[in-house]
């Protein structure tokens, strides 16, 4: 079926690339934990006429005319977001998760102010203060780590000690490669003790929170949450900032997003966010969120049986961080390439205090959101883990070829759904 007839006729080069990606996604398995599939309805919103419209400002307070329908779209997105996450305020305009974090910093900080966040090598994110980012030229980022990388326990005593010493304006929780639940009560307690705003970056687990499969930081007193709208939330690529109840913080965040860092919001993207939030509000999404974790635990069980080293000993959420250097004598970069040849897409990833280079680290990171969207249950998830072990252990062409054939069969028998409702 020709699903892009106009592109095919007008631009054969781009058409070929898009169809190549369609085939790759259909015949392979996506295990990158920050990726997922969206519904056809979300794609339709992204391709709608809303992409034509400039809408600087907020609903009811725009700088251009002709906003009656854009106001409806953004208001619906805001109300659905607030309902999903128990927030009093929501800004759905950030173009991505990094944009959301940057706007949040500038809303709550002055240049030179201090943020206490998780160390990148222990699971944090670039926008949490890694030295390669420009944010570190403006704000002072200090870091906390895990006390025990085998269990994933955060060193909360050391976090409190550091916080008392440096008096941060923000205490930042959240991660991009941390497989355990955080103790939200301790974060909030420390933040209040030193007069800091408590912020949780829920980008990776937003869908698990929305689906009631993971704890909601707002239930424990967090002030602000930032997030992407894709990943486990299964919406379009984009960002969002949520405020539990503080109106002054919400006003500062709105000003920081627009006009502080962005001009006209992408209304087609906001419409797609609204559609995906509507999907996440359905009872079926709770089933999906719980299955993500069940599938992760099924994979964890296989790797434990193999005695492979998983950082933090396993997972409570959607992702696993595997030390392939210790477990299989292969680097993360080599493992990523090898598994890609077998039709399994994941990413190389540094492990805690990794001694190898970032572009060829000791670990790989993988997760279950996308395979769960395809209808994979624990049996299939466990088999994928077994195939990964076979490929990483044997590494020969014959094993890779057999694995690719089985992965293709598994993928085609679980086609990417067009609708989740």
Catalytic residues: 54, 56, 201, 228, 231, 237
What does residue 198 show for φ and ψ, rounded to 5 degrees?
-95, 125
User: Which pair of tokens denotes residue 407?
Assistant: 């992965």
* CA distance to 97, 184, 383, per residue, from 157 (Å): 29, 14, 40
Q: How far is residue 340 CA from its own chain's centroid?
A: 21
Give the C-alpha separation, 258 to 254, whole Å. Answer: 6
Residue 177 three-state SS: coil
* CA distance to 203, 255, 349, per residue, from 262 (Å): 20, 10, 31
Torsion of CA 288, 293, 299, 304, to 10 degrees: -170
Check if the beta carbon of residue 363 is closer than 8 Å to that of residue 335: no
The residue assigned the tokens 């000690």 is 161
Give the C-alpha separation, 69 to 79, whole Å. Answer: 15
Q: What distance separates the 2 farthest-apart alpha carbons in the chain?
A: 64
Strand ranges inside 300-350, DSSP E: 319-323, 344-345, 347-349
- CA-wise closest residue to 384 among 363, 362, 367: 367
Give the C-alpha separation, 98 to 101, whole Å. Answer: 5
Determine which helix (DSSP H) or strand (DSSP E) holds 209, and give its type and residue range: helix 206-210
Query: Strand 347-349 to strand 140-144: parallel, antiparallel, or no bridges (unpaired)?
Result: unpaired
303 exposure class (CB count in 10 Å sphere: 0-12, 13-18, 19+): buried
Check if the beta carbon of residue 190 is closer than 8 Å to that of residue 156: yes
Eight-state DSSP code of residue 53: -
* CA distance to 96, 122, 141, 152, 414, per residue, from 350 (Å): 23, 9, 20, 15, 31
Beta-bridged to residue 30, according to DSSP, are: 345
């Amino acid at each position: 079926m020709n699903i892009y007839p106009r592109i095919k006729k007008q631009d054969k080069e781009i058409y070929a690339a898009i169809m190549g990606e369609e085939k790759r996604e259909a015949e392979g398995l996506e295990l990158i934990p920050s990726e997922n599939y969206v519904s056809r309805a979300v794609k339709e919103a992204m391709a709608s006429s809303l992409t034509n419209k400039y809408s600087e400002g907020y609903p009811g307070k725009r700088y251009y005319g002709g906003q009656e329908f854009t106001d409806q779209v953004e208001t619906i997105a805001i109300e659905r977001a607030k309902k999903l996450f128990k927030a009093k305020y929501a800004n759905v305009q950030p173009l991505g998760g990094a944009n959301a974090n940057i706007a949040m910093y500038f809303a709550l900080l002055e240049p030179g102010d201090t943020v206490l966040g998780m160390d990148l090598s222990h699971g944090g994110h670039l926008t949490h203060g890694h030295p390669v980012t420009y944010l570190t030229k403006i704000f002072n980022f200090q870091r906390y780590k895990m006390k025990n990388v085998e269990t994933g326990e955060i060193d909360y005593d050391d976090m409190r000690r550091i916080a008392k010493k440096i008096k941060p304006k923000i205490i930042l929780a959240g991660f991009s490669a941390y497989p355990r639940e955080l103790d939200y009560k301790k974060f909030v307690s420390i933040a209040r003790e030193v007069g800091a705003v408590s912020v949780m970056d829920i980008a990776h687990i937003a869908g698990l929170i929305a689906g009631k499969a993971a704890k909601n930081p707002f239930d424990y007193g967090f002030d602000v949450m930032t997030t992407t709208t894709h990943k486990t939330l299964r919406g379009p690529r984009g960002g969002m900032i949520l405020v539990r109840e503080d109106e002054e913080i919400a006003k500062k965040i709105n000003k920081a997003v627009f006009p502080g860092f962005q001009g006209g919001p992408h209304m087609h993207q906001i419409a797609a966010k609204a559609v995906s939030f509507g999907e996440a509000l359905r009872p079926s999404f709770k089933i999906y969120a719980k299955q993500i974790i069940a599938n992760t635990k099924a994979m964890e069980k296989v790797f434990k049986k193999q005695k492979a080293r998983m950082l933090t000993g396993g997972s409570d959420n959607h992702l696993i961080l595997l030390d392939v250097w210790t477990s299989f004598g292969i680097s993360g970069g080599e493992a990523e390439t090898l598994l890609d040849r077998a039709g399994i897409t994941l990413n190389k990833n540094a492990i805690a205090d990794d001694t190898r280079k970032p572009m060829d680290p000791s670990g790989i990171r993988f997760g279950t959101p996308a395979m769960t969207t395809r209808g994979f249950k624990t049996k299939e998830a466990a088999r994928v883990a077994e195939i990964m072990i076979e490929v990483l252990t044997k590494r020969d062409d014959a094993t890779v070829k057999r694995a690719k054939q089985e992965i293709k069969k598994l993928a085609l028998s679980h086609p990417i759904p067009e609708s989740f409702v």
